Structure 1
Amino acid sequence: MFIAHLPAGYLLSRPFARRNPSQARAIFGIGLLCSVLPDFDLAYFYLIDQRRTPHHDYWVHTPVFWLVLAAAIALLLIATGRRNQLVLVGVGLISVLPASGDGFDRGRCPLALSLRRSPGEPGACAGGL
């Protein structure tokens, strides 16, 4: 998780930080945090679930969850008059989506709310991605 996701979060945040130098620290912080956020479920995976369910099958690995959360945060920022911080929502979303979708290479639905279906089960995507 840290070997690949953190450098990806840094590289995705860098162009935004260059364009917004006054918010560079916050941009890098959000980018790095959000790049590993979906994998915080590893604590549940190892400590509670006892590795019964692949951790990419948890709801934090569904892009729909992160899209809805980002939309809610963006609306809150707009409603409170803090539009200058919308760049942080964008950086967070760009950084979290690659990590949240890293389970889709096994034939799962890209926008599924529940990833617990296998490709052969009824209701699963035909052929995956």
Structure 2
Amino acid sequence: MFIGHLPAGYISAKLFFRPLADSGVAAKFFVLAGVLGAIAPDLDMFYFYLIDNRQNHHHTYWPHYPILWLSMLVASGIWFRLSRNKSAAALASIFSISGFIHMLLDSIVGDIWWFAPFVDQPYALFTVEAVHKPWWLNFILHWSFALELLVWFWAVYL
């Protein structure tokens, strides 16, 4: 997914704000946490380009481990349930929800190691064939890019 993560974080924050509204968090901070969570897994791109020299697929790094995002989601959910001051727990929850949604979106046409670090096997619903140069044209000209545009339209609509 190229351009869909940011608006997906916005959408998740808008949809989850009401159920978590009793937390006392201002909407703008809630949306910010949602958007940051949606792009947080891709912060591993700094490591990918600056340190690893593109030697390994960036989805093999720990920020792209679904178990991390599920664990954070469960922990923040428990924290939200047990806490008296729910604002920080609500921010952690939407951050984790958006990070997990990132994993789901990447799984459409990108390899995600769903059972990492225990199993070294990538999973993707569909494959983008490498037929165009530069490489990113393969993704923009693939039908799945229409899904990303739909995510953007949905975010604008909200």
Instruction: Give yes or no for the alignment of 1:40 onto 2:27.
Output: no
TM-score (norm 1): 0.70
Q: Contact 1:13/1:91 (CA < 8 Å) preserved in 2?
A: yes
Q: Contact 1:41/1:60 (CA < 8 Å) preserved in 2?
A: yes
Q: Contact 2:64/2:112 (CA < 8 Å) preserved in 1?
A: no
Structure 1 pair 60/32, CA: closer, same or farther in 2 (3 Å)? same
Equivalent pairs counted in the alignment come to 121
Offset of residue 89 of structure 1: 3.3
Offset of residue 107 of structure 1: 6.7
Offset of residue 66 of structure 1: 1.5
Identify the match of residue 63 of structure 2 among 60, 64, 67: 60
Structure 1 pair 108/18, CA: closer, same or farther in 2 (3 Å)? closer
Per the alignment, in what secondary structure is the counterpart of residue 35 of structure 2?
helix
Per the alignment, in what secondary structure is the counterpart of residue 26 of structure 2?
helix
Name the structure 2 match of 1:88: 91
Offset of residue 51 of structure 1: 0.3
Name the structure 1 match of 2:152: none
Structure 1 unaligned spans of 5+: 120-124
Q: Contact 2:9/2:35 (CA < 8 Å) preserved in 1?
A: yes
Structure 1 pair 113/55, CA: closer, same or farther in 2 (3 Å)? same
Offset of residue 79 of structure 1: 5.6
Structure 2 unaligned spans of 5+: 126-158
TM-score (norm 2): 0.59
Name the structure 2 match of 1:16: 16
Q: Percent identity?
A: 32
Moved more, 84-93 or 28-37: 84-93
1:90-120 Cα shifts (integer Å, max 9, x gaps) = 322221112234257567652x13287246x
Q: Distance in 2 between matches of 1:108 and 1:74?
A: 24
Q: Distance in 2 between matches of 1:55 and 1:108?
A: 10
